[in-house]
Homo-oligomer: A and B are copies of this chain.
Amino acid sequence: MNIPLKVTLIAGGVGGAKMAEGFAALDGVRLSVIGNVADDEEFHGLWVSPDIDTLTYSLAGLIDRKQGWGVADEGHRALDVLRRLGQNCWMSLGDRDFGLHIWRTMRRARGDRPSTIAADAARAFGVVPQILLPTDDRVQTRIRTDAGWITFQQYFVQQRCEPEVREILFDGIEAARPTPEALEAISDADLIVIAPSNPLVSIGPILAVPGIEDALRAAPALCIAVSPLIAGKVVKGPADRMMAALGMRADVEGIAERYRGLADLLVIDHADEAMSKQVGAHGLKAIVRDILMPDQANKARLAGDIVQLAGSWRAA
């Protein structure tokens, strides 16, 4: 009997969930995912946690595959009524989704730890990997546009990533304490993977929780990052434009610079092979693989490539 490989994945929303599904499909892997809570926001008095829910729904096989987020077989009757009652309903929340938000809000009001709530939800939905929160404290991304500071969901959903991003901050980050579960998943991992998620607003607020980045640096495990960019373009979302707007290189070199000292390897796409040297200049070894994950087979294939990489690295 083989001892399972303990993989800890640092993951944002959709890209992170795809990578998580890849590892979850592998035999011999025990997966823990540390998700992002800084996209959380209150809507209609309910606490919504989009990135954590995307992980949960994806790993539970409940995700709306066509849309890439939300639950399949969803209705919008509750939102219809809220709109009729005069609420601003730009955040599309489905009826099934509301069930989870109602429950989460009730449990938070009772004083339950957000980590426990997330773990209980995952278990109820039949998710096998552990879904961990980097912190139980309230941390919220704020984005400064030319029209002022807005929340992440206002930027991402309401304004469809249209405004130029001038500045990003994580409200509450200084006082946030890391969860013991996240710290343990990092220190105990056999392999740490940074998912191809937005480095600024998905991975960024996880790393920014005091103690998390230190734990990553101190962890004995190999750390492999997967580039969210292919040929300077993001598969989904605003990462490339955000990076450029904030004066970063919006390419694999920019990613290497961001994860310098944290990740040992950076998995990049064939399209970026020519930039392997620039990646190396930041202290990360570039590994070229097919990093697109259009379907379940490719998610598992990329996760398998990463596990194999880790094996050959250890053997070397």
Contacts and interface: CB of A to CB of B under 8 A. Distances in A.
Interface of A: 44-46, 73-75, 77-82, 84-87, 94-100, 102-103, 105-106, 109, 120-121, 124-125
A120 B87 CA distance: 12
B82 A102 contact: yes
Copies of chain A in the complex: 2
Contact of A75 (B86, B95, B109, B124): B95
- Sorted from nearest, which 3 A-B pairs have the closest CB atoms? A81-B99, A45-B106, A77-B95
A73 B95 CA distance: 14
A99 B125 contact: no
B77 A96 contact: yes
Contacts of A96: 77-78, 80-81
A80 to B, nearest CB: 7
B80 A77 contact: no
A84 B109 CA distance: 20
A87 to B, nearest CB: 7
Contacts of A106: 44-46
A80 B73 CA distance: 12
Given A45-B109, A81-B98, A86-B120, 11 more contacts: A44-B102, A45-B102, A74-B77, A77-B96, A78-B98, A78-B99, A81-B100, A82-B102, A82-B103, A85-B99, A85-B103
